[in-house]
Homo-oligomer: A and B are copies of this chain.
Amino acid sequence: MRRFIIVGTTAKGSGEFSLDDLPSSSGRLDVLLRCVRAALLTSHGLRANVVVYLMLLGEGAAPRVVRIGGEGLKFVRPDERSLAVLVQKLLLRHVGQAVGQEGAFVEQKPGLAVADGGLECVLAELGGASVYVLEEGAGDVRDLDLASEDVALFVGDHRGFDDATRGAFEALGAVRVSVGPVSLHSDDVVTLVTNELDRRNW
C-alpha cells in the first residue's frame, strides 16, 4: 500500500469555500487537490493500491483529515474543480452529521472518509508502514532502499512543514527523501515519487 499524506498548513477543514475562487477561499486546497490527481489517477484508471490523506490544518475549523482511496473508490475526475466538488461535499456532509468520534475516520462513501483531528488520525492508520518525508536537499529518491511495499510518504504544501510536524517525523524515525535539484510543487513531488515506485514494480 502507498499512502501519501499531504500536509495542508493553511487549507480549511470546514468545506466552506468558493469553487470560483478556490486558492484564496479554501486556504490553498488547490495545492492538495492536485496531489490527489497525481497520486491516484493513471491515464485511464484509478490506482487501487494508493490512499491519499489530506491534512486540513488551516484556520476557521478544527483540524480535519480527508482520506481518499483504497477499497471501493470509484470514478474520480482529474480536473481541479471536480476534485474540489468531491472534497467539499465530503466535508459538508461530515460537518452536518457530527457523528464522528474524535480521531476516527467516518466513511461517507466507499473510499471517501473524514476524521476530526490532525496528525494523530493519520498515524493511527499507518500500521507498520515505512515512513518517508519528502524534503529538499535530502537523499535522492532514485537511490532509496525500499525495504517494504508498505510505505507512507509525507509531502508538504506551498509552505512546507512546521516545527511540530517535523518533531513528529523525527519521533517516527521517518527517512528524508528528495526528488531532484529544483524546488517543485507538491503534485510534481507526488508524480516523481509515484514514478520511482512504479519503476520498482510496486
Q: Which A positions have Cβ atoms within 8 angstroms of B?
A: 19-20, 22-23, 30-31, 34, 37-38, 41-44, 77-82, 158, 179-185, 187-188, 191-192, 194-195, 198-199, 201
Q: How long is the Cα–Cα vector from A54 to B195 in the complex, in angstroms?
A: 25
CA distance A184 to B38 in the complex (A): 9
Q: State the majority secondary structure of interface residues on A.
A: helix
* A79-B192 in contact (CB<8A): no
CB-contact partner of A41 in B19, B181, B185, under 8 A: B185
- Alpha-carbon distance between A187 and B181 when the two chains are bound, in angstroms: 19
**Given A188-B191, A191-B188, A79 and B198 contact (CB-CB distance below 8 Å):** no
Partner of A198, one of B30, B43, B81, B181: B181
A22: chain B residues at CB < 8 Å are: 79, 81
A-B contact pairs, 24 of them (CB 8 A): A22-B79, A22-B81, A23-B77, A23-B79, A30-B78, A30-B79, A31-B78, A37-B185, A38-B188, A41-B185, A42-B183, A42-B185, A43-B183, A43-B185, A79-B80, A80-B80, A180-B199, A181-B198, A181-B201, A182-B195, A182-B198, A184-B191, A187-B191, A188-B194
Report chain B residues within 8 Å CB of A192: 191-192, 195
A179 CA / B198 CA spacing, docked (Å): 10
What are the nearest 5 A-B pairs in CB distance? A43-B183, A80-B80, A30-B79, A191-B191, A188-B191
Inter-chain contact A180/B158, CB cutoff 8 Å: no
In angstroms, Cα B199 to Cα A92, docked, is 43
- A188–B31 Cα distance when bound, in Å, is 15
Q: List chain B residues, Cβ under 8 A from A77.
A: 23
Instruction: From A31, A158, A194, name the one whose CB has the most chain B CB atoms within 10 angstroms.
Output: A194
Q: How far is the CA of A201 from the CA of B184 in the complex (A)?
A: 15
